[in-house]
Structure 1
Amino acid sequence: MGVRFLVLGDSLAFGTGAASPQDTLGARLTRALRQAGHDVELQVLAVPGATSLDLAAQVRRVTGPVDLALLVVGANDLTRQVPPAQAAAALGHAVGELGERGATVLVVPTPDLSSVAWVPPAFRAVVAGICDQLRARQTLAAESAGAVVAPVAPELSRRFSADPSLFSADRFHPSSAGYALVAEALAPWLIELAGRRAQDAA
């Protein structure tokens, strides 16, 4: 049975900064799922610049049933100062809508933006704390709506802080190498969720 895999969210979900379409997060995770034995059909509805408030419009563009959905969102909620409670509620609503369509949902909440080059060292602790607060709200809202949340932000932040080559030329989005690292962190979560669905369907 094929896995209909949907990717929603912001520029990280879209793949901004990757050198080629094959290097984007969706493409890399699709390959990982296929290597794990799943027949995968990928649909990317993510939009660069999207906040959590834009997820509803992305969900409305979904055609047909969905098996597995990945939501990557949060960075633009911070940079555009979306109130955390409002952002978390919008994320939870999107998760609920996808669940009603039959999807198993994996959420990747806001990254730790303190690792970004334009954040002055004196402010990095403050930025990290703000990211932590939004991530906690996102996690509660997403899990309450039935999603699984991948707690990969702290480890990825350490890796990105230590290796500038993981950023693309804009020093904000990941490079192809950065997307490879993110995909490596997320693949086990998606493979496990796809495996659970296959077992339940058997």
Structure 2
Amino acid sequence: MTRTPLRLVVLGDSIAYGTGALRPEDTLGRRLSAELTADGFDIELRVLAVPGAVSADLAAQVRRAEPFGADLAVVVIGANDLARFVPPDQAAASLATAVAALRAQGTDVVAVPAPDMSTVPFVPPAFRALVRAACAQLQQRQAAVVEAAGGSVAGVAADVAGTFAADPAMFSADRFHPSSAGYAHIAAALAPSVLAAARARRDDAAA
């Protein structure tokens, strides 16, 4: 089977970067690359994510991505916006601008909304409902602006949150970032959305 070259860029925060993974091959970008390779793509990967990034920081990452000429971007953002109390409309607007800029460069976009921070072990039980509601509000706004800007949204938040809430092994030693096992689960949840975007681009190119 002839492999179709595909340039993949991963943008966003520490989850996109892979903080907490024990090995480079356990990180999100490398795991998604492996999924795409198994599907017949020849992958060139760039991870431009920056730990600690908020949505407003995506603009600089998008500028850094431009010379790469990415075919597909996976954008993982929102956890730090929540942790720093960035207003949801402000965070969503920054994400919308980034997605629109990527689309203008000819890059297809799969966005991964903010995680449900209520599953983080050190969040006090009394505050989890409040945190969950705040996360849901940002997730909804992110989804709306990404779709309006021409990107697609990976609807994995509920699946990932349920798994992380039920299994402490999904978290790394800092009890905040995913572990290698956590990244494996996130990547498996994301794979259908990423594969669908890559296949659609391949089919369009072949048409």
Q: Under a length normalisation based on structure 2, what TM-score does the superposition of the two structures give?
A: 0.96
Measure how far apart 1:71 and its partner are. 0.2
Alignment correspondent of 1:181: 185
1:47-58 to 2 correspondences below 5 Å:
47-58=50-61
**Counterpart residue identity of residue 118, structure 2:** S
**Counterpart residue identity of residue 116, structure 1:** V
Measure how far apart 1:101 and its partner are. 0.9
Separation (CA, whole Å) in 2 of partners of 1:27 and 1:155: 21
- The number of residues matched between the two structures is 202
Instruction: Give unpaired runs (5+ residues) of structure 2.
Output: none
Segments of 4+ moved more than 4 angstroms: none
**Counterpart residue identity of residue 87, structure 2:** P
1:117-132 to 2 correspondences below 5 Å:
117-132=121-136
Other structure's SS at 2:174 match? coil
Counterpart contact for 2:171–2:178, Cα < 8 Å? yes
Other structure's SS at 1:117 match? coil
1:2 corresponds to 2:11: no
Question: Percent identity, aligned pairs only?
Answer: 57
Alignment correspondent of 1:107: 111
**Counterpart residue identity of residue 141, structure 1:** V
1:40-51 to 2 correspondences below 5 Å:
40-51=43-54
Alignment correspondent of 1:64: 68
Instruction: Decide which of 142, 149, 155 is 2:146's aligned counterpart.
Output: 142
Separation (CA, whole Å) in 1 of partners of 2:34 and 2:116: 26
**Counterpart residue identity of residue 156, structure 1:** V
Separation (CA, whole Å) in 2 of partners of 1:166 and 1:185: 14
Separation (CA, whole Å) in 2 of partners of 1:133 and 1:195: 31
Alignment correspondent of 2:22: 19
Measure how far apart 1:188 and its partner are. 1.0
**Counterpart residue identity of residue 147, structure 2:** E
Other structure's SS at 2:68 match? coil
Per-residue Cα deviation, 1:5-59 (whole angstroms, up to 9, x for no partner): 0000000000000001110000000000000001110000000000000000001
Alignment correspondent of 1:154: 158
Measure how far apart 1:64 and its partner are. 3.3
**Counterpart residue identity of residue 179, structure 1:** Y
Measure how far apart 1:83 and its partner are. 1.4
